[in-house]
Amino acid sequence: MAEASAEFLLQNLKQVIEENATLIYNVKNQASSLYDELCLFRGVLKDAMEKPNKSETLKEILKQIRSVVYEAEAAIDTFVIHTAVQKARRRLEKATLLFGYWAKLRGVAKDIRMIRETASSISATRMFGHALREISNAHNRATIEKKIPIVEEHHVVGFKEDAENLIDVLTGGSDEREVVSIVGMPGLGKTTLAKMISRDQKIVREFGNRAFVHISRSYSRKDVFIAILSNLAQAPNAAVDMDEQILSHEIFNHLENVKYLIVLDDVWSQEVWNDLKNVIPQNSNGSRILITTRFTRVAKHANPIRDPYDLPPLTHENSWSLLKLKALGTNDCLPELMESGKHIAEKCGGLPLAIIILGGILLDKDQDEWNKINENVKAHFTMDPEKLMENFIAPSYYDLPYQFKPCFLYFGIFPEGFEIPVWRLVRLWIAEGFIQKEETKSLEDTAEGYLEDLVKRNLVMARSLRLNGKIKTCCVHDMLHEFCRKQASEENFFQDIQQIDHQGNNNYTLEKYRRLCFHPGNLNYIDLKSHGKDLRSFFCPPSDGTEDVASIIGAFKLLKILEARSIRFTQFPTDLIRLIHLRYIVLSIDIDIPKAISKLQNIQTLIVETSNRTLDIKANIWKMYQLRHIKTNTSTTLLGPGGSNTTERRNSSVAVRSGNLQTLSTVSPESCTGNLFSRARNLKKLGIRGRVAKLLENQGGPLFSDNLMKLGNLEHLKLINDVSSDTPLLNRLPLGVAFPPKLKKITLSGTLLDWVQLSELEMLETLEVLKLKADAFKGEKWNINRTGFPALRVLYIDTTDLISWNASSDHFPNLMCLYLRYCTELVAVPSSLASVPSFQKMDLYCTTKAESSARQIQRTKGSGFKLSICCSL
C-alpha cells in the first residue's frame, strides 16, 4: 500500500500546486520542479503495485519515494498555512510579522530544494536501477466489466438445510430462554447463515422483536448495548452519553414481556455472555439467543446443556455452484472452463470465503488463467485458518488496479462488521484524494463505480441496496477486514489506537501515520502535540465525549478529514478555522455555525448533527468554492448568496464559482429563494424541512415552482413538512410541468395532501422512485385517473389512512417493487399489478387487511415473485 499511497500523493501534490497557485507563488517554481522530478517515479510506483512479492531492494526504494513525496506535500501545505495566516494579518502591516513571514518563506524554499536533491539522488542510485529491472515485466490489470451488485444475503448457496434445522430449533422446544450456537472455522459462512435465518419469514413471524449485533474481537460492552437497543427500537440521540447501567435497564425493560431473538455474531470470548446474560431477561415467552463463534468453549459456556451446531463445509456441488455465481455471475459455464473450475471448487475444501475470493480473481479470466489457479490452489490448505485466508486474499488484493488498492484498505478504518453507508464512504474517498476526475463523470459517480468493481471482485459485500438499485450500505468479511488492518499497519497507511493503559503507555509510533482512529478514552492518555505533525485524517468513534477536541485541532494542523461526530461541542471551537486544508468534517454541535467557518476554503463535505429543532449556518457558504455537500439532520437556515449587502455583480461572480454544490439536506423553506436556486444549479439532491406549506400555498406556490425549474440537474427532491398544531396544511403540489426535467426520486413526509394531488406527479416521465412517508397523503380513496406513472420502478407508502386503491397495470407499466408500511386500513392491493411484467417484489409491514390480496398476487406471479409480510408489533 505504500506505493499506492505515494502514487496518490504524487497526484495530490500537483493538485496542491494548482489549487494554491496564488498562495505559493513565491515557491511555485521550486515546487513545480520538484513535481517534475517526482514524475520520474510514476511508472515505478504503478508497476510495483502489481508485484505481490517484492525484493528488499524494491521495498526500500518505494519507502524512500513515499518519504520524499510525504515531505514535499507537507512542506507545501505548511507554507500554504503560513501564507493564509499572513494574508489575514496583512492589514496590520507590522514589520515583525512580515519578517517572520519571509523567514518562513525562505525556510520552505530551502526544504523543497533539499527534497528535490533527495529525489534526484534516489533516481541516480544503482539500487533504483535494480528496482526498475525487477518490475520491468509488470503491467496494469484492466478494470472488469460492471454488473448489477449482488446483495450477499439474497444469493446464498448451500445453507438451506442448515437454516431449516436451526429454524426448527429456534422456534421449537421450551418456553424458557435458550442460547443456540453456530460454531465453525473462519470463512465457513457462520454470519451468512445467521443473517439468512434472521430474515426468514418463519422467524420474522415468530419473533416480533429481533436484533442482529456484530460483536468482534475488539468488544465494547457499551457499544453492544447501544447496538441492541438500536435494533429493537430507535435508540435516542443521547444513547451515546448514557452510562451502561441505564442502557442495560432500557434493554431489559424493552424485552421483559415480549418474545425476542437476539443474534450475537462473531463472539470471541466467554466474557461477552457474562456481560449480557443478566441484561437480556429470562422470560418464559420462548425467547432465543443465537450465537456465532469460532470457539466451541465460547458456545459451551453460554449453554452447557445444548451442543453447538457445527457448521459443515459446502458440498462439492454447492462449492461449484458458488464459484460459478461469483466468477461468472451465472450458473452456466463454458465447456472449456468446466474441468478446471470443478477442480478449483473442490480444492477449496468447502470454504465459502475462499471460493468467493477466488471467484473474484477468476472474473473475466481466460482458460489459461483458470488452469494456472487450479494448479496452485491446493498449496494454500497446508496452513492454519488465518494464514489460509490471507493466502487467498493477498492474490486478489494484488490483482486490483492500483487506484482501487487504497479504497479497499480504507475499509479497515471502520469497525469490524459495521455496515458502512455508501454516501459516507464515497465522500471520504474523495476527500482523501483517492478518486481522480474522469471527463464524463462526477467524482461521486466515479467513486461509486470503484465500489461496484470491488463488489464484483467479491472483496466487498453489498449489504443493502437503495430503492433505485444502487448500493446503500456495504462491508467486508471479518477476515478481509483483518487483512486490511494488517496490510495498512505494515505500510503506515493508518493506525487504529485501541488499547492504552491508564498510565498512557502504548507501543504506537504515531508520527509515522497519515490516518489515525482513536477509540473511547484514549485521547486522554496521549500527548498529541508530540505526535502526528503530518497527520491528515482523524477518526474518533462513539465515545463519552470527554476528549479534548481543542488538543486535536492544535496538534494536527494539516488535517484534511475530521470525523468526530461522537464528541459534542458546547461552543464552536475557534481554532477550527485554522485547519485550512480540511475537506471533510463532521460536527456534533447544539449551537449555530458561525460565519468564520467560510474561511475553510477547501471544505468539500460539511456534516452537522444537532439535537435542536433548527440550525442556522451564518457562514457565507457561497464563498466556499470547493463545497459539494451540506448534510444536516434538522431544518437549516442558510445565509443568502453573497450576503444582503453585496451587489448583484458580486453575486454573479460567486454564482460561477459555486457550481460544485450537489447536496443540500435539509434546508428551511425560508432559505429556498430564487437567489439560492440560481446559484446552485448543479444540485442533485435537495431536502427541504419545516413549514413546507409556505412554499406551496397560493402566495408562494408559483414562485417556488419557477425557482425549482432552475435546478436542471436535480435528481432527488425531499419535502418534509414539520407538523404541529399551528402548521398550515398543504392544499396542493407544484404543477407537474414545474418539476426539474431530470428528477428521478421524490420523497414526501407529513404533507397531508389529498390523494388527488398525486395526479401532478403522474406527468413526470423520469420519476423512478416515489416515497410517501409518515402521513404524506390523507383520505380513504386513491383513484388513478390519468396515464399513471410511466417510469416508476419503486413505490413506498408509509402511515396512511388509505382504504381503497384503484389502479390498472397500465398505470404502473415499469413497477418493480412495492413497499407498504403501517397502511392498516388498506383493504387490498390492486390485483391488476400482477399483470405488470416487471413487478418482482412486495413488502408489507403491519397491513393485515391487504395480506390476502398480496398472497393472491404472489400466486399469480409465480415462484419468482418475492413477498414479505410482517405484522408483528
Please tell me whether residue 370 adopts helix, strand or coil conformation. helix
Averaged pLDDT for residues 717-733: 73
Is the pLDDT reported for residue 146 higher than 50? no
**Is 197 a member of any domain?**
yes
**Is 433 found in the same domain as 295?**
no
Q: What value, to the nearest 5°, has the Cα angle with vertex 228 and ends 226 and 233?
A: 90
**Is 455 found in the same domain as 412?**
yes
Please tell me whether residue 70 adopts helix, strand or coil conformation. helix
- Picking from 86, 101, 134, the residue at the C-terminal end of a domain is 134
Q: What percent of the chain has pLDDT over 70?
A: 73
What is the structure's pLDDT at 381? 57
**Is 703 a member of any domain?**
no
**Tens of pLDDT along 631-652?**
999 999 998 665 543 333 334 4
Q: Give the H or E element holding residue 289.
A: strand 288-293
**Is 117 found in the same domain as 179?**
no
**Is 306 found in the same domain as 208?**
yes
**Is 219 found in the same domain as 85?**
no
129: confidence class by pLDDT, cuts 50, 70, 90: low
Q: Average pLDDT, whole number, for the chain?
A: 79
Domain count, the chain: 3
Q: The C-alpha cell of 386 is what?
A: 488465518
Is the pLDDT reported for residue 566 higher than 70? no
**Tens of pLDDT along 391-403?**
778 877 877 887 8
Averaged pLDDT for residues 409-418: 88
CATH number for the domain that contains residue 248: 3.40.50.300
Averaged pLDDT for residues 749-768: 88
DSSP state of 669: G
**Is 383 found in the same domain as 258?**
no
722: confidence class by pLDDT, cuts 50, 70, 90: confident
C-alpha distances out from residue 206 to 209, 255, 288, 871, Å: 9, 15, 11, 11
**Tens of pLDDT along 70-108?**
777 777 777 777 666 666 655 445 444 444 555 666 666
Q: Give the H or E element holding residue 82.
A: helix 56-89
Tell me the residue length of the chain: 873
**Is 327 a member of any domain?**
yes
What is the structure's pLDDT at 288? 95
43: confidence class by pLDDT, cuts 50, 70, 90: low
- Of residues 555 and 521, more confidence is placed in 555
CA–CA separation, 366 and 140 (whole Å): 17
Is the pLDDT reported for residue 745 higher than 70? yes
**Is 795 a member of any domain?**
no
- Picking from 484, 506, 541, the residue at the C-terminal end of a domain is 484
**Is 281 a member of any domain?**
yes
**Is 299 found in the same domain as 281?**
yes
Averaged pLDDT for residues 264-282: 91
- Picking from 465, 484, 503, the residue at the C-terminal end of a domain is 484
Least confident of 513-517, 771-775, 831-835: 513-517
What is the structure's pLDDT at 239? 67
What is the CB neighbour count within 10 angstroms for residue 472?
17
What is the structure's pLDDT at 7? 55
**Is 130 found in the same domain as 11?**
yes
Least confident of 86-95, 156-165, 586-595, 686-695: 86-95
**Is 475 found in the same domain as 341?**
yes
**Is 277 found in the same domain as 216?**
yes
Q: The C-alpha cell of 256 is what?
A: 421483559
**Is 334 a member of any domain?**
yes
**Is 306 found in the same domain as 330?**
no
Is the pLDDT reported for residue 726 higher than 70? no
The reported pTM is 0.79
**Is 303 found in the same domain as 246?**
yes
- Cβ within 8 Å of residue 675, ≥6 positions away: 640, 641, 642, 651
Q: The C-alpha cell of 563 is what?
A: 470525523
**Is 726 a member of any domain?**
no
**Is 401 a member of any domain?**
yes
C-alpha distances out from residue 728 to 232, 750, 751, 752, Å: 34, 11, 10, 10
Give the structural domain span for 467: 316-484
